[in-house]
Amino acid sequence: MANAFWCVVEDDRAGRPKKVNAEALGEAARLAAQTGGQVEAVWLTDRAEADGLGQLAEWGAEKVWLVEAPALAPYRGEVWTPVLAELAGTEQPKAIFGAVTSRLRELMARLAARLGVGLSADSVAFDFRDGGLIATRPVYAGKLLSKVTWAAGPWLATLRPNVFKPRDPRTGKAPVVERPPVTVPQPTMTFVERREEVSTGLPELTEAEIVVSGGRGLKGPENFVVLEELAKVIGAAVGASRAAVDAGWRPHRFQIGQTGRTISPKLYMGFGISGAIQHLAGMRTSKVIVAVNKDPEAPIFKIADYGIVGDLFEVAPLLTREFKRLLEK
């Protein structure tokens, strides 16, 4: 449908869409309502579970374009891009959105280049002006917000997680699934090995509503347990500064900042993190920021809503104990 707002699905690699899709679909629904358009999901996968399809319908997808083929797993940009470009060429959607995730960030950039259109990366707001879409996105490591628009359609954008509101669930809605006849190329890269990280049992960093993050002030990898204990009690994900990652205390996928993940949780708590601009670039849009640092002059206090000047090795266990009591755990 030429007036459609598409959302490219980010899935859990086991047949189900991730929660970030609800936000992209919610925002697409809000925009589509203003243009009389329709919200559609595009899912490229090696397998889609029926309840995963149902979930997309519940989150607002009126139709799911499903391309299911073994060559689509694991993700390879050179396989996914032509499939999506071909489908976009045939169906001519008005907009194509995707959440800011490792693979969609890459895929959407490739797609923009393939279609010869602009991409608003890491968008935090959308509005219409004179019938055109205006996207707001952070620039200069989040110090400024810029408004951009597209010289030509479709409007491609990635959406920062935890910023956009999902719509009210459309419970019991059956998905309309269409399997388009597109060509899925054979991968040119051979898949050698997949190493699965052992799950921490904590929420995924970019999806978590609460993030507890540690920096060089933790002094060593063994001390992250102090933050993990707190995180378990309040249902938080644990992130890290680049200093902690570069020291080998946490894997890179936990790094928050300009060269790591961008997060926007309801609550961010930084322990032993100075607040360098490159770190702030990845977390400054968090709704409430709490900083714990023994240096009262630490720059992070400038953007913190609540600051605790103190030793994290005393403060973190105190907070854990108090939250446990309050939450009766």
Ligand X SMILES: Cc1cc2nc3c(=O)[nH]c(=O)nc-3n(C[C@H](O)[C@H](O)[C@H](O)COP(=O)(O)OP(=O)(O)OC[C@H]3O[C@@H](n4cnc5c(N)ncnc54)[C@H](O)[C@@H]3O)c2cc1C
Binding site for ligand X (CB under 6 A): 215-217, 241-244, 255-260, 272-274, 276, 278-279, 282, 292-295, 298, 311-313
Kindly state the smallest distance separating residue 151's Cβ from ligand X, in Å. Answer: 30
Q: Which is nearer to ligand X, 3 or 259 (CB)?
A: 259
Angstrom distance (rounded) from CA 64 to CA 46? 15
| 3-state SS, one letter per residue, for 87-127 | HHHHHCCCEEEEECCHHHHHHHHHHHHHHCCCEEEEECEEE
Least Å distance, CB 327 to ligand X, is 24
Is the CB of 22 or the CB of 304 nearer to ligand X?
304
* Residue closer to ligand X (CB basis): 73 or 141: 141
Nearest-approach distance from CB 239 to ligand X, in angstroms: 9
Would you say 33 or 139 has its CB closer to ligand X?
139
CB of 280 to ligand X, least distance (A): 9
Q: Closest approach of Cβ 215 to ligand X, in Å?
A: 2
Q: What whole-number distance in Å separates Cα of residue 44 and Cα of residue 8?
A: 8
Closest distance to ligand X from the beta carbon of 85 (Å)? 31
Q: Which is nearer to ligand X, 72 or 243 (CB)?
A: 243
The letter for the amino acid at 105 is: R
For residue 149, which of 125, 109, 118 has the smallest C-alpha distance? 118
Kindly state the tokens that stand for 290. 């709490």
The residue among 110 and 219 lying less far from ligand X, judged by its C-beta, is 219
Q: Please state, in angstroms and rounded to a whole number, the distance separating the CA atoms of residues 81 and 37.
A: 24
Cis peptide before 161 (omega within 30 of 0): no
Cβ neighbours around 176 below 10 Å, total: 13
